[in-house]
Amino acid sequence: MGDPAGNYTAHAEPEPLGSMTLYPVPESVPRARRWFRKFMARHELACSMDDCVLMISELVTNAILYGESEDPWRVRVDWWREGEALRVDVHNPGFPMAVRLRHHDADAGHGRGLFLVRELSDSWSVTPGRFGGTTVSFRVDAGFKPS
């Protein structure tokens, strides 16, 4: 965007309501659940906190299991208010094309994470991260009470 004098101004992305950076270790999954509950308690969600925490658990688990990097890396979780919607982004250094819904056997002990996210959210997406890697997001349209 430019102003009348021909100068360009950068548009900053809105600040997330909260965020956390986690080590790619199994202990980070319960930590993500606790932090999200703690930080969101004051925001009076209109949607199910338990459903949101389950979806975050699944996406953080996937980020830890499937994120790849030659260098030390972290998993980042950001959550946003978009009108009345709640959006949660989980970033890892893995490749976006590796994220997909998998068919699983009824007896399988894993492989249902993205199916749960698909069923519990109003929408979900996989995109290349702003700084490389992958961002997997979910959105709950009626996440907040109307202002």
pLDDT by position in tens, the chain (length 147): 445 555 544 445 677 899 999 999 999 999 999 999 999 999 989 999 999 999 999 999 999 988 888 888 999 999 999 999 999 999 998 876 665 556 555 554 455 788 999 999 999 999 988 878 899 999 999 999 887
Task: Kindly report the pTM of this predicted structure.
Answer: 0.83
Please tell me the distance from the alpha carbon of residue 34 to that of residue 38, in angstroms, as a whole number.
Answer: 6
End-to-end CA distance of the chain: 30
